[in-house]
Amino acid sequence: MAGPDSPEVLVAENVRKRYADEGPWAVDGVTLALHRGEVVSIVGPNGAGKSTLIQMMLGLLVPDSGSVRIFGNEMATGRRKVAHRINYASTDLSLPYSLTVRENLMAYALIYNMRNIGSRIDRLLREMDLASFRDVRVGRLSTGQVARMGIAKALINDPELLFLDEPTATLDPEVSAQLRTTLQTMVRERGMTLLYTSHNMREVERFSDRIYLMNGGRLVASGSVSDLMSRFETEDLESLFLQMVGQKRGKDE
Ligand code: ADP
């Protein structure tokens, strides 16, 4: 079962980051833990610090202070040790556009030294509804197809921990629902842990075991949907979001 009793997959402790000396903190003292088999979302307005936090979790940005450990490894220094166990997809995906869908996935599977590459890719293409595009050059795909391609790429190494930054932003409702079902199956059957961001509050409510609300570089609330609803006496996540963001903006003015 997922939850606080499952092993910790990721631990972030008091992580801070700013992009300029004396500048504002993009991430300002974030502490959190992810457990095996959880679906956790980070929600917050543009500029809240979500992407910066994820980049630090991935070991691509080094925190100014604090630490992120994944499977016990410090990401700022030991990223290579866990790189094969994690993966990531975001909307600003850049792929070799002259290669076909299948060739792209093949290249990534080779990087990860995966076995049974052919059948793995065929399965991912089916799961991401891309089977009929397997021989199409990526440069000719629609925005939504490229997004699905990005997620297929992120799943190529059967990650134990997957980060998805706005995975459904460019997908239509039907494809979004299909993607959620596929991801939920992976979480349930393989104990994958999923951390994702989304601006779609209905999706976050339905899909997440736990939610972190982020604003101004800080975590301002966290819990399951029902925890949050009862604690803040709101009817839905969108109202809570507007309440939290409104308070911060009000203070800044
Ligand atoms: P979010 O993902 O929640 O939209 P970001 O992590 O992208 O938030 O941004 C947090 C803050 O850091 C914002 O004030 C943003 O302008 C700033 N920021 C993000 N990336 C950079 C960068 N590469 N250089 C300078 N400032 C940045």
Residues 34, 177, 143: CA angle, nearest 5 degrees = 95
Q: How far apart are CA 78 and CA 98, in angstroms?
A: 33
Whole-number Å distance, alpha carbon 46 to ligand 1 midpoint, is 8
Query: Closest Cα to atom 17, ligand 1: which residue?
Result: 26
CATH top-level class of 8-252: alpha beta
Task: Find the helix or strand (DSSP H, E) in which 111 lies.
Answer: helix 101-111
Span 203-251, pLDDT tens digits = 999 999 999 999 999 999 999 999 999 988 888 888 888 888 876 555 5
| Percent over 90 (pLDDT), the chain | 62
Binding pocket residue ranges, ligand 1, CB within 6 Å: 19, 26, 44, 46-52
Span 4-63, pLDDT tens digits = 678 899 999 999 999 999 999 999 999 999 999 999 999 999 999 999 999 999 999 999
Which value, in Å, is the radius of gyration of the alpha carbons in the chain? 18
Residue from 17, 18, 19 to probe ligand 1 pocket by mutation (most atoms less than 8 Å from CB): 19
CB within 8 Å of 64: residues ≥ 6 apart: 16, 17, 18
Are 31 and 45 in contact by the 8 Å Cβ rule? The answer is no
Per domain, the residue ranges of the chain are 8-252
Span 145-181, pLDDT tens digits = 888 899 999 999 999 999 999 888 888 888 888 888 8
What pLDDT shows up at residue 172? 85
User: Mean pLDDT across the stretch 98-106?
Assistant: 93
Q: How far apart are CA 217 and CA 15, in angstroms?
A: 10
